[in-house]
A and B are shown apart, each in its own frame.
Chain A
Amino acid sequence: MSIQEQYRSRAKELLREGTVKMVIGYGAGTTPLRRRPIFITSPDDADRLVLDAACRTNLAGYLLREGLLADQKSVAVFLTPDGVRTINILAAESQLATEQVIVLGFQIDGENARQLEGTRVADFSGIIAERKKKRKEQPSHEVARKLEQMTSVERFSFWEGEFSRCIKCYACRAACPMCWCRRCVVDNNQPQWVNTSSHTLGNLEWNLVRAFHLAGRCVECGNCSEACPVNIPLHLLNRRMTEEVLTAFDYYPGADEHQEPVLASFRKDDPETFIL
């Protein structure tokens, strides 16, 4: 049985026995190469689920949509290990209870989707620990290396150029499962902390605020870069932040649901060398 078949029957079973009220997965899209998020609530519809290498979106963010989990019922979601890390972070940040989440785990290896064993997020901690190790050894992105070699003035002008295209749609924010704030800091107008206009300053402010707020929280799922309509390489910023946090604190976001948020917690023995 293909992984798709297995998960279809798994989804059917979960819905039929009432373990979950909904399965969030992927379905066929407008063209043969596209997939789209779908929400299955009846066992009869489970055959619409698709699982293959084209299923790239991190679906975890849908769990926080419009009170979905408010009734304490459970939902099953198709998640890659990065998706599971997302759930861990959201749980650590008190945005959801992991008891309400059933994981349909998978991983894309080249052209194939591979099944990952496990039902609850905790079942994936081994896989995630493995990823952390790999992440540490992973060489930086080629462009990132080039950026590192630039002077700060050159680097600034690189980003200024990239951000000049930003149209401030905030699609990167909407697509990011970590951007769960009910009211984003940039939407506050009393006072207006960040310019709403999409001019040089406004774009720079927005993109930097976004990068900072995701330091130690980003799971590198790629939703933001994928959503950006003008293809700004947002992942370069996020990856840089991830590497920073990994080196400075040996911290890998979403390692498990009890891991404290790195920039929202402190230890008495923190060196705090940057505080005067």
Chain B
Amino acid sequence: MTKILYANDLTACFSLWRKEGMRVLGPVSKAKTSGFGEVQDAHELDLNLVLTARTLKELFFPRTEPMFSYSIGKQKIETGEFLPSENACIIFGARPCDAAGMAIDDELFNWDYRDEYWFRRRDRSVIITIACKESDDFCMCTSLGLAPDSAKGSDVLLRPLASGNGWRVEELTPKGGKALQPIASLLKEGSEAAAPTAEVPLLFDLEACTTWLADPENFESHFWKEISERCIGCGTCTYLCPTCHCFDIQDEGDTYEGIRRKNWDSCSFQLFTMHTSGHNPRATQSARWRQRIMHKFNYFSDKFSVNSCTGCGRCTRECPVDMGVRETLQAISTLQK
């Protein structure tokens, strides 16, 4: 026997959570794109999407966010804080690859410094993930050591019932358990079977790739130019990646008064590493693509013992010139043989 949440009860669940003062967010398709947005009613959700175009990370790490304001007067300097103060939230219907991405980003944002902007939101949110029964041509979680029903980064995992009427509920963390309390009356005991999870084929040998990347001999390889010749440096792959986390600090205003903001930035951009002198250590697009791959599968893993990629496939799915991590790692694994 296990707990079952029936789809018919979802809207009632949402109101119970709201009564507890929590916002409810989930995957929504709106204005020709999809992402996570606040919902009142279960009908607003788009649970049939394999994956939203935009990732969960935006909820914790918005594309632009004010950090503090400053004003410098004759006698005094004043600053004002902008720490996030949103209500606690339930994120209903995340995918395992996105949830895992948040756990990977936690490492980074809590490394040499605890990023309060990230963690205030992380600590106040509960991720309820739905295992995937469908995948598309770009999904590659299995190649990254994850699966369509991975628990990483989630507080509760829901397995779709074979009947399509609801989900089997697996509590994964104490935070998840607490979030289930207010809706306990709606969770029914049952033994209905879960639908099989999606079959996501293995696309490359990750270990062979990381070994090749770790070899300094390969840093200057022709491979990099060949594989990334068509990259236009548009940054889409980084902005839509759940684990890409680079940002830029910008002051808006003038020397005496303004707001300091934290804005997304991308290693695909020429400006990312441009020195004031005009010298650019990553002068070519291929050097920038190499950086993206090396960062994810070498530098990040060196530091945090985990690759900074969950195989969500967005970098290939959304690239205007059909590039992506997938092609590069597939090519590297064949180089190995």
**Which residues of A pack against B, CB within 8 Å?**
29-31, 34-39, 57, 61-62, 65-66, 161-162, 165, 167-171, 174-175, 187, 195-199, 202, 223, 226-227, 229-231
Contact = CB atoms under 8 A, between A and B. Distances in A.
A185 to B, nearest CB: 13
A231 B322 contact: no
Contact of A167 (B63, B271, B327): B63
B53 A230 contact: yes
Given A174-B234, A229-B239, A30 B53 contact: no
Interface of B: 31-33, 53-54, 63-64, 137-138, 229-230, 232-236, 239-240, 248, 250, 252, 261, 263-264, 266, 269, 271, 284-285, 316, 318, 320-324, 326-327
Q: Which 4 A-B pairs have the closest CB atoms?
A: A171-B234, A36-B322, A174-B234, A231-B32
Contacts of B318: 229
B64 to A, nearest CB: 4
Q: Is the interface of B mostly helix, strand, loop or mixed?
A: loop
Contacts of A168: 63-64, 263-264
A41 to B, nearest CB: 10
Contacts of B252: 195, 197
A167 B53 contact: no
A170 B232 CA distance: 11
A201 B5 CA distance: 43
Contacts of B233: 174
Nearest to A202: B64
Contact of B264 (A29, A167, A226, A227): A167
B326 A36 contact: no
23 contacts: A30-B324, A62-B230, A65-B285, A66-B284, A66-B285, A161-B31, A162-B31, A168-B63, A169-B236, A169-B239, A174-B235, A175-B232, A196-B250, A197-B64, A197-B252, A197-B263, A198-B264, A199-B64, A202-B64, A223-B320, A227-B320, A230-B32, A230-B33
Given A66-B284, A198-B64, A36 B321 contact: yes
Contact of A30 (B236, B239, B266, B322): B322
Contacts of A31: 137
B263 A57 contact: no
Contacts of A229: 33, 53-54, 236, 239-240, 318
A223 B316 CA distance: 17
Nearest to B65: A197
Contacts of A35: 322
Nearest to B62: A198
B232 A174 contact: yes
B321 A167 contact: no
Contacts of B266: 169
- Of the listed residues B137, B269, B322, B326, the one surrounded by the most CB atoms of chain A closer than 10 A to its CB is B322
B307 to A, nearest CB: 21
Contacts of B285: 65-66
Contact of B320 (A57, A199, A202): A57
Contact of B54 (A161, A199, A230): A230
A49 to B, nearest CB: 14
B312 to A, nearest CB: 14
